[in-house]
Structure 1
Amino acid sequence: MTHLDADRRDPAHPAHAVDTSSPATGLTAAGVAERIARGQVNDVPVRSSRSLADIVRANVFTRFNAIIGVLWVIMLIVAPIQDSLFGFVILANTGIGIIQEWRAKKTLDSLALIGEVRPTVRRDGKPAEISTSEIVLDDVIEIGPGDKAVVDGVCVEADGLEIDESLLTGEADPVVKQPGDQVMSGSFVVAGGGAFRATKVGREAYAAQLAEEASRFTLVQSELRSGISTILKYVTWMMVPTAIGLILSQLLAKDNELDDSIARTVGGIVPMVPEGLVLLTSVAFAIGVVRLGRKQCLVQELPAIEGLARVDTVCLDKTGTLTEGGMDVTDLRLLDGADEGHVRAVLGALGASDPRPNASLQAIIDTYPVDGSAGAWRSTGALPFSSARKYSGATFDEGDGVSRTWLLGAPDVLLAEDDPALAETGRLNEQGLRVLLLARADRALDDPDLARGVTPTALVVLEQRLRPDAADTLRYFADQDVRAKVISGDNAVSVGAVAAKLGLSGATVDARRLPAEQEEMASALDEGTVFGRVTPQQKRDMVGALQSRGHTVAMTGDGVNDVLALKDADIGVAMGSGSEATRAVAQIVLLNNSFATLPSVVAEGRRVIGNITRVATLFLVKTVYSVLLAILVVCSQVEYPFLPRHLTLLSTLTIGVPAFFLALAPNKERARPHFVRRVMRYAIPGGVVAGAATFVTYLVARQHYTGPNALDAETSAATLTLFLISMWVLAIIARPYTWWRVLLVAAMGLGFVIVLAVPWLQDFFALKLVGVTMPWTAVGIAVAAAAVLELLWRWVGRRFPA
């Protein structure tokens, strides 16, 4: 007696005052309403999205926002409004971040709804597709090949039902289920069909308990964002002691009023914070989601955009990826004098015996419907197709008192190596055709040696429909130096012919001859391009072997036999029309079922990684020169050379505005690892040169200017030097130049010129170049520093390549 049965016999059990369910009819409408009223509904956590409150909280309540917020309040009290502009910039940045992330959330939620799995349940004796969130306790749920169990339950019907529980238990072998056996949520059907009754729903289900944490919004978990977190940690360590020293030095600075000392202290602290870097990273990811959403691409885990851009090997399942799901029967070749009418009858009966036919069998059903002679045949047993077996079968009482067992599957699996039918099969496979063998077996369906010694009867020839966009997509990956490996369960020769039609060159390998040892398998994978007769477990092993050689692997697929490999790959890509199990484990789902969408995903990833690397360098150059300037000021015991308004102007023109455009621009550069190292190798020397040159100008200006307004003149000269060096940094970061990049750099330079030329802007930003000698000296120092910076960055690029 099952636990569920025990519950039913307990009159105190609240769910069973009235038994309104049976395996055949399922729940009644009254039973469903009763359970909904009791809250026994499959209320599960929402994947890939977070609430508006979470988005606001994540963008507003940050460590650096808290620091800048306190400084902003201080400046609003003690200084003119122009020294508080940095606070308004932070408000704008935060608002932009919230809006973009909300747009991304709405896109994700709408796409997730489109791609939502709708299991079939029985209610009032009729099957109905419903949302997973509408399942209630005791619902009877029908399952077939590729379906995932979305709740825990007990099997009530089984027709050759085999379930893979590897994603939960780690055991790869399918488990045969009989009525009364437990069905765990998260497992999926690999063969046969049946139904089970829900015994645990919502957060009580096994898979929901495992997935609740893992399925939350995953924006922060990526190499890019973890690298930025590392950088911000280093910045904090540098900033805190430097800021304390700066505060003390400015409060004790001679000949300086308290308000001005506070303003210059804040002016030294604020630019140390790379406040826009996290914002632009979030915005770049969010806009990537929106762009891909327009192409019907559901990114279930946002770092997958970044991950696919790092991929150097794409493993493709032929069916559903290179070819369309449907097939057409093009020929029927009889063997050993078989009667064509009888063969057609057998094929029609085999089709009718399988309630959940795959694409091959559906083509046979369409071509050979059940005729009058086979209509009276009675099926006494059926063996559903399995990717591991490579064949299906059924036993029929054909009405003449004789019971016969028929198998339909791969000729090279069912026939001996010396069978002449294999030669004919080989010739057809070389044309890219798929061939199935119809054979009569002399053993029972449950005999482990069922496939031995079969009698070949006919070859069924099917033609696969090539995806019109597959060739262009493969060509794109080849141009981007991404290797494509076709991994299929079909005949190797046939798969190789299909790949050749699409322009994919390379050796074709029968996976049954692949070595089992990982290192040897990895060597074979490096040499081959097309692999046929691959078992589901082999697909998983092949992904692991490629990863052992340091490859970043993406796996595409749509069938249940792809699930294990999709789960283990660095990036799993599933087709929207694929099985529920593949969509559940994949990071990216192509809802339009178009393999041609993948280049768009790669392009988005490269745009995000390449552009954030660019703008991170801009932001961190500012952080480095700000920390260095503060240290030099503390050591020299002089006034800090800038007010907040000066650095707000510099940051806006040389970092903020250009970074926004650069972060969202197209970028086809291949993604490379070691984000932190690649950014810091340029940011540190750039910041050191900029900070040192600016401080030299400041010291020279202190010697040059005298009088009550000397500090303003000294600040203006130092600002000019820092602006020119920062512009040169921007000019380097903007390479390679395009018309709009040149225009962007020129516009930022023009903006500074306008500030210097318009009197009221001069007063607003406290900038006025006094005399001729010192401004030109400032320019000369900036030019020399820019030359040093150019040579230094070129040397770093050669000496420490990424």
Structure 2
Amino acid sequence: MSELTGLTSQEVAQREAKGQVNNVNLATSRSYWDIIRHNVFNFLNIILLLIGFALISFGRWNDAIASTGLVFLNIAVSVAQEIRAKRKLDQIALLSRPRINVLRDGAEVEIDPARIVKDDLVVVEPGDQIVVDGPVVGTGEAFMDESLLTGESDLVLKREGDELLSGSFCVTGKLYYRAEKIGEESYANKLTQTARKFQVVKTPMQKDVDFVIRILIASAGFLAFILFMVGAWFLEVSDERLVQATAVIVGQIPYGLFFIVGVTYALAAVRIAEKGALTQQLNAVEALSNVDILCTDKTGTLTTNRIQYEQLVPLSATDYPAETVSQWLGTFARSATLTNATSEAVINGLDGFKFPFVDEVTFSSARKWSALTFDQPQMRGAFVLGAPTMLEAYFPADTNLTPQIEAWAAQGLRVLVFAYSPETTQLNDENSEPHLPPLTPLALLSFSDELRPDTQAVLESFAQVGVTVKIISGDDPRTVAALAKQAGLPDDIGLVSGPELEMVPDEMLTAVAEKNTIFGRISPQQKERLVDALKAGGHTVAMMGDGVNDVLSLKKADVGISMQSGSGATRGVADIVLLNDSFAALRPAFIEGKSVVSGLIDNIRMFLARAFASALLIVAISMTGLGFAFTPAQLALTFFYVGFPPLLIAIWARPEKLAAKPMRLIMNFAIPAAVITALFGVVIYTGFFVGAFDQFVSSSASPELIAEYAAEQGIQAETPEQITRLTAEIIAQTALAAFTTFVGLLIIVFIEPPVRFLAGGDRYSGDIRPTLTAVGMTIVVFIVFANPGLRRFFSLAEIGAQGLILTFLLALICGALQLLVWRRHWFEKFFALEPLKLEKETDALWEMK
């Protein structure tokens, strides 16, 4: 290699002037613009912001800030968390960015990969990553690890004329290669260019939430339009009163739900980050909980890319004791010019010396054996280590190694044979072609792929909760199956090879993908095809990988998972990155996802029960002609049951196995609760308005409150009749506000029943914390109604202790009726639905902790 000089400085400058520079910028994470665009410019945010501007145009600044403020908070939380993930990934990429040595003007120079020009001579030494494509030049040779590209773990020997592909690594040896395909022309770049754009896929829960919110927005818009048209054209209602009513209707849109969803995702992201998993988008944790098929690569994902020496069994045909053979083998591994994963495993497992050798044949993936000859007193002759199938032709005819080989293979172990010829000293002929003499087998050796810590426990945990694991690799399917057995998968798993898969028509691919577990000799395009087939079968698929060959399939999967040590392209498109390559981090991430779903379902139940009930009350009370159900200020009372408590419920949520689809669980709870609340509410409003409860309660509205209310409504309050009507309307609204607040707090108890007696709308929880929160909020509500200043702030009249206690008791009766409806399954019976079984179940999720 001494005759190589590389490009001159002038030649480099000429190529730079022509733009022949490796200046491609592989994305290692999402851009800031992508993050902001996704979180700001979506349909629901735009609608809610338009509503906010409409309220401002009506002069309702407070209402506009209260509604759109939560939208901005949600945007801030989401953007902050995703930018945090981006910066972490960029830091990982920066730390792992290689420095390259090139030969220029006859000397080696260290440069950034982006400064490589076409025809540069790149120096490759152990540990170096190949960043551009090109042929080997000169007489050097090296063993390359191409597992990130092909998925195969075997090292590949590269010599003069052989092509090096970007994305591979040098394990041993030294060589030079010419940079021919640079920038976007490189192999790794072409493989990943179709996956550059980061796509955000909504989870089923997000789709359900979006659907419900769109329905509520449409309903609110329709109600506001009808109210405006009827009031303005037929009832001659004042503009101020119409604006107030519109603000109340718009207030039924659960803005807080957006904020709670964002906070829930952010909390989950922080929790699993502490366990070693980094999320690139907030919904990734929840998406993981929906997965029912986990596809994973083998090399570098389930395994650590290291081999472990297991056992040496001396063969009875020789008289050498095991100690002698072990020392010979340890010496053989230490004396070789080049080392690979197998020889490193031998060195770590056996003692030996480093002797000078007479002749050598290095390992190659084609031969699958290596050999050394020694002329030492302790060790004389030719010694060979390799695959039994490649060496059996050199053994005596009566040699039978099959029983031991098959026994180890059944355990998922790799098997090599160590053999020798006592007199041979030359292994290469006059043409430097290797040849072997007749050999005597000395011992059989077993090796195992080193699984990542907790791999078996994690796979068992996923199996317990119904997640099917499929291993997709570039290795031989039999080798992959052996590893699968080590990882705890059953013996009767189906195997399919890449060539076999190529023959399967698209219409049959889903069935083949579902039936089999091991897929070997699979190309990157076939991985993508398998993921598509599984998704077409209705499965939610997660794909885990670390190499460039996994990028396309990670993009196709519902959840893409990458190792930190994987390629930058893989980390860039992954939804979740396992820090420190911690496979065990998947387990808490899955549990956290289940907790996210559980918490979101509980919160959506609360928000929808409140929204449905309010909508029914607005329509029903408006039809009675007795005024309007609420004022905007009174809506602020909802903070006590759908403002602060949902945050705690999101924090305290526990993983659950759902008894049905989320929307069925939500509607089964929310609709009966809303209808019963509305029926009671109409009676309470009407009763307080007409004075039906005068004999039980002493109620009044201050002149200041009446004057403010009249001014806000744009109506006169001069005659006794006008004042009496306004007073009755304010008192009725106050009583209704108290009742709906107490019912909302009771809903919290029903969502997380602390005792079995209260379980009906949801399964028994046993968690006392939500109930204590509801009790605390109830005390706060009593204080609000008892304090004149707080009553004024919320536009509430004085209904006295008796009136407040009456509304509280009526709320308890309402709750009892709700509990009865849930327990008797009257809602399901009315709609001819199968009753839900919500009894407490022993869930395997708890064993996953």
Same fold (TM over 0.5): yes
The amino acid of 1:459's aligned partner reads L
3-state SS of the aligned residue for 1:709?
helix
Cα RMSD for the two superposed structures: 5.7
Alignment of 1:705-720 (within 5 A): 706-720=724-738
Alignment equivalent of 1:110, drawn from 79, 84, 88: 88
Deviations 1:251-279 (A, max 9, x none): 568696543442232112222x2212233
3-state SS of the aligned residue for 1:459?
strand
Q: Does the 8 A contact of 1:111 with 1:293 survive in 2?
A: no
Deviations 1:29-52 (A, max 9, x none): 994999499794535364443427
Task: Name the structure 2 match of 1:744.
Answer: 773
The amino acid of 2:796's aligned partner reads L
The offset of 1:712, in angstroms, is 0.7
Task: Name the structure 2 match of 1:591.
Answer: 579
Alignment equivalent of 2:815, drawn from 764, 773, 786: 786
Runs (5+) with no aligned partner, structure 2: 376-380, 422-426, 430-434, 693-723, 754-764, 838-849
Structure 1 residues 129-138 or 87-96, which shifts more? 129-138
TM-score by length of 1: 0.73
The offset of 1:423, in angstroms, is 1.4
1:98 correspondence with 2:80: no
Instruction: Report the CA distance shift for 1:474/1:378 in structure 2 as closer, same or farther (over 3 A).
Output: closer
Q: Does the 8 A contact of 2:39 with 2:78 survive in 1?
A: no
Deviations 1:111-144 (A, max 9, x none): 4532665346333478899877676666666789
3-state SS of the aligned residue for 1:291?
helix
Instruction: Report the CA distance shift for 1:378/1:673 in structure 2 as closer, same or farther (over 3 A).
Output: farther
Partners of 1:262 and 1:25 in 2: CA distance: 79
Alignment of 1:373-522 (within 5 A): 373-374=356-357, 376-379=358-361, 383-384=364-365, 392-393=368-369, 408-409=386-387, 420-428=400-408, 434-438=414-418, 458-462=443-447, 469-470=454-455, 473=458, 476-477=461-462, 480=465, 482=467, 498=486, 504=488, 506-507=490-491, 511=495
Task: Name the structure 2 match of 1:13.
Answer: none
Q: Does the 8 A contact of 2:462 with 2:468 survive in 1?
A: yes
The offset of 1:756, in angstroms, is 0.6
The offset of 1:244, in angstroms, is 0.8
Partners of 2:206 and 2:127 in 1: CA distance: 35
The amino acid of 1:296's aligned partner reads G
Alignment of 1:606-621 (within 5 A): 606-621=594-609
3-state SS of the aligned residue for 1:460?
strand
Deviations 1:301-333 (A, max 9, x none): 654422332234556759864789452465363
Q: Does the 8 A contact of 2:294 with 2:541 survive in 1?
A: yes
Partners of 1:687 and 1:465 in 2: CA distance: 57
Partners of 1:764 and 1:471 in 2: CA distance: 60
Structure 1 residues 729-738 or 546-555, which shifts more? 546-555
Partners of 2:464 and 2:795 in 1: CA distance: 53
The amino acid of 1:102's aligned partner reads A
Deviations 1:554-613 (A, max 9, x none): 565668998898777655545444677876776433222333222211122112222122
Task: Name the structure 2 match of 1:236.
Answer: 217
Alignment equivalent of 1:363, drawn from 341, 345, 362: 345
1:291 correspondence with 2:326: no
Q: Does the 8 A contact of 1:717 with 1:769 survive in 2?
A: no
Alignment of 1:306-317 (within 5 A): 306-312=286-292, 314=294, 317=298
Q: Does the 8 A contact of 2:276 with 2:582 survive in 1?
A: no
Task: Name the structure 1 match of 2:432.
Answer: none
The offset of 1:656, in angstroms, is 1.7
Task: Name the structure 2 match of 1:729.
Answer: 747
Q: Does the 8 A contact of 1:349 with 1:377 survive in 2?
A: no
Alignment equivalent of 1:693, drawn from 680, 700, 715: 680
Runs (5+) with no aligned partner, structure 1: 1-21, 169-173, 386-390, 445-449
The amino acid of 1:741's aligned partner reads P
Partners of 1:324 and 1:482 in 2: CA distance: 25
Instruction: Report the CA distance shift for 1:752/1:424 in structure 2 as closer, same or farther (over 3 A).
Output: same
1:757 correspondence with 2:775: no
Q: Does the 8 A contact of 1:330 with 1:463 survive in 2?
A: no
1:121 correspondence with 2:121: no
Partners of 1:580 and 1:772 in 2: CA distance: 66
3-state SS of the aligned residue for 1:298?
strand
Task: Name the structure 1 match of 2:795.
Answer: 766
Percentage identity across paired residues of the two chains = 24
Deviations 1:323-362 (A, max 9, x none): 894524653635754999999889877888786723x342
3-state SS of the aligned residue for 1:799?
coil
Partners of 2:284 and 2:274 in 1: CA distance: 17
Instruction: Report the CA distance shift for 1:509/1:55 in structure 2 as closer, same or farther (over 3 A).
Output: closer
The amino acid of 1:281's aligned partner reads V
Partners of 1:413 and 1:633 in 2: CA distance: 91
Task: Name the structure 2 match of 1:51.
Answer: 32
Deviations 1:389-422 (A, max 9, x none): xx834588999xxx99967247699899997312
Task: Name the structure 1 match of 2:612.
Answer: 624
Deviations 1:78-98 (A, max 9, x none): x6x8xx266246425623641
The offset of 1:642, in angstroms, is 0.9
1:799 correspondence with 2:837: no
Partners of 2:251 and 2:208 in 1: CA distance: 22
Instruction: Report the CA distance shift for 1:660/1:636 in structure 2 as closer, same or farther (over 3 A).
Output: same
The amino acid of 1:799's aligned partner reads E
Q: Does the 8 A contact of 1:411 with 1:436 survive in 2?
A: no
Instruction: Report the CA distance shift for 1:407/1:443 in structure 2 as closer, same or farther (over 3 A).
Output: farther
Q: Does the 8 A contact of 1:522 with 1:549 survive in 2?
A: no
3-state SS of the aligned residue for 2:245?
helix
1:663 correspondence with 2:650: yes
Partners of 2:523 and 2:37 in 1: CA distance: 44
The offset of 1:105, in angstroms, is 1.9
Task: Name the structure 1 match of 2:261.
Answer: 281
Q: Does the 8 A contact of 1:310 with 1:672 survive in 2?
A: no
Q: Does the 8 A contact of 1:407 with 1:438 survive in 2?
A: yes
Partners of 1:138 and 1:682 in 2: CA distance: 69
3-state SS of the aligned residue for 1:268?
helix
The offset of 1:522, in angstroms, is 7.0
Instruction: Report the CA distance shift for 1:97/1:513 in structure 2 as closer, same or farther (over 3 A).
Output: closer
Partners of 1:350 and 1:64 in 2: CA distance: 69
Task: Count matched residues.
Answer: 745
Task: Name the structure 1 match of 2:314.
Answer: 333
Instruction: Report the CA distance shift for 1:56/1:303 in structure 2 as closer, same or farther (over 3 A).
Output: closer
Task: Name the structure 2 match of 1:42.
Answer: 23
Instruction: Report the CA distance shift for 1:756/1:775 in structure 2 as closer, same or farther (over 3 A).
Output: closer
The offset of 1:281, in angstroms, is 2.1
Q: Does the 8 A contact of 1:50 with 1:217 survive in 2?
A: no
The amino acid of 1:622's aligned partner reads R
Partners of 1:681 and 1:105 in 2: CA distance: 38
Partners of 2:789 and 2:728 in 1: CA distance: 20
Q: Does the 8 A contact of 1:338 with 1:457 survive in 2?
A: no
Partners of 1:622 and 1:490 in 2: CA distance: 58
3-state SS of the aligned residue for 2:368?
strand
Deviations 1:453-488 (A, max 9, x none): 998664223467676645654564465455667889
